[in-house]
Homo-oligomer: A and B are copies of this chain.
Amino acid sequence: MAPFEGRTVLVVGTGLVGTSVGLALTRAGVDVRLADAKPEILAEAVRLGAGRPEPDGPGEPAALAVVAVPPEAVAEVIGEVLESRRAEYATDVASVKVLPTMQVRERVADPGRYVGSHPMAGREVSGPNAALADLFEGRPWVICPDDGTHQQAVTRALAVARLVGATPMTMTAAEHDAAVALVSHTPHVVAALMAGRLAGAPGHEVRLAGPGVTDVTRIASGDPELWTEILTANAAAVRPVLEGLRTDLDRLMAALETPVAGQPVLRELLRGGVDGRSRLPGKHGAAHTEFATVIVAVEDKPGQLAALFADAGAAGVNVEDVRIEHAAGQPLGLVELDVRPGAEDELAASLRERGWTIRG
């Protein structure tokens, strides 16, 4: 906590993210002050140990304010906090960055005291009670300085990101918004539109659904209100990605409408999918690794997974990833264990020896 030695950090807005920041900074030894428009929400965050309430009246300004309020309130709160000198510098945590940056510029005499940031972590639930001191552990925390940003604002925001255990990255607000449009907002649109096709489909069609469409549509169950706001706020960055997608979709539909020998367009688009997929980061931020998979049939009852993992552990093979697939109409699940290529035979043999039914 050297960067905040003898100083305080102010967290404004003690919902899930604000309270998690407070808990993590407090654990790291930082003196955290908390504020929230709702006294009961503030009291809850204090009770959980996220910090102490911000004292009333003028006093020593905080070294940095972390403003964790709903996106539409960000600029107003940042403006108030900086102009009233409750803090020397301020950052926010909203998932879109160009819009708040522009809004802050219009409101603050010295907008260089603000730097936008986006911790890429969250939960399906909200409120201080859902907060976790290690919510940001190992997650990217993007910080978006521009030419006018004071170095101290960046240094202090980076210090917060590191103190809460996140992996800080810096890029411009426009780069950030383009990146989340590509890797978060467009995938949400794609999943939602695909899932939408299932909504009116006959039952016998939906009954044939397997693990593929289940994966593709998983994120489509996200809150439509929240996603309407996110997509609207980042429309400028999402639209070009959707336009590229629309062009590819048109080309693919034309290739299906008028097939030609060898279907070169279809092949090219499907190969592009394989290429793009291979660029996704694998575990530990390393390049994407293809694992070998051992498939085990297990009965669907308590203790089976425990026994399986105990036996896998006894084989001395590290399980890198695991998926469970349930067979329709059967009290039986398939557990897919991903292991480093080369270790699959050893694991399969060892599990077979211990009486497991191996399918792969």
User: Which A residues lie at the B interface, using CB under 8 A?
Assistant: 120, 123-125, 132, 134-135, 137-140, 142, 167, 169, 171, 175, 178-180, 182-184, 186-199, 201, 204-210, 212-222, 224-225, 227-228, 231-232, 235, 238-239, 241-246, 248-250, 252-253, 256-257, 259, 263, 266-267, 269-285, 293, 297, 300-303, 305-314, 316-324, 326-333, 357, 359-360
Contacts and interface: CB of A to CB of B under 8 A. Distances in A.
Contacts of A303: 313
Contact of A276 (B198, B238, B293): B198
A330 B136 CA distance: 11
Contacts of A123: 360
A289 to B, nearest CB: 11
A119 to B, nearest CB: 12
Given A276-B195, A310-B306, A322 B324 contact: yes
Contacts of A244: 197
B175 A273 contact: no
A280 B209 contact: yes
A174 to B, nearest CB: 12
B182 A197 contact: yes
A270 B228 contact: yes
B266 A231 contact: yes
22 contacts: A137-B332, A138-B330, A183-B198, A183-B206, A189-B249, A193-B245, A194-B245, A196-B273, A199-B276, A206-B281, A207-B281, A209-B281, A235-B257, A246-B250, A246-B253, A284-B327, A302-B316, A302-B318, A303-B313, A305-B313, A305-B322, A321-B326
User: How many copies of this chain does one complex carry?
Assistant: 2
A220 B273 contact: yes
A184 B210 contact: yes
Given A137-B297, A249-B249, A217 B276 contact: yes
Contacts of A331: 284
A72 B65 CA distance: 66
A212 B193 contact: no
A257 B326 CA distance: 42
